[in-house]
Amino acid sequence: MKRYIEREPLEWFITDGLNNPIKEDAFGYDAVAILTHIFATPTADVVEVRHSRWEINPDGYYPYCLACRREPQGHVMTDFCPNCGAKMDGGITNERVH
């Protein structure tokens, strides 16, 4: 799973460390201090979101998810595909080519 961190606190830390007029507080280009702070910064566990949209089968009767090509149970078009979890906001990712 990918891990993400907020960038602003790191930018502040690095800028402050590089530009601090107090010599004892400035670390210059000390990569160890920078990396230590980066590794100590809390991260968030995130999940990549798949995007898709509902399409109507060629026979014109039932909808299907364009990402996984499966019909929703009960043929109800919801905000998310119950089969693959894609968010139905019109964007297409992981589209299969036939």
- Give pLDDT, residue 65: 92
- Give pLDDT, residue 98: 36
To the question of pTM greater than 0.75 for the whole model, the response is no
Q: Distance between CA 14 and CA 27 in Å, rounded?
A: 9
Per-residue pLDDT of the chain (98 residues), as tens digits, is: 567 777 778 778 877 777 778 877 776 666 667 777 777 877 777 777 889 999 988 777 889 999 999 999 888 889 999 999 999 998 654 444 33
Alpha carbon of 64 to those of 12, 20, 56, 94: distances in Å? 47, 58, 6, 15
- Give pLDDT, residue 68: 92
- Give pLDDT, residue 1: 59
- Give pLDDT, residue 47: 75
Query: Within 1-98, where are the H helices?
Result: 7-19, 31-40
Residue extents of the structural domains in the chain: 3-45, 49-98
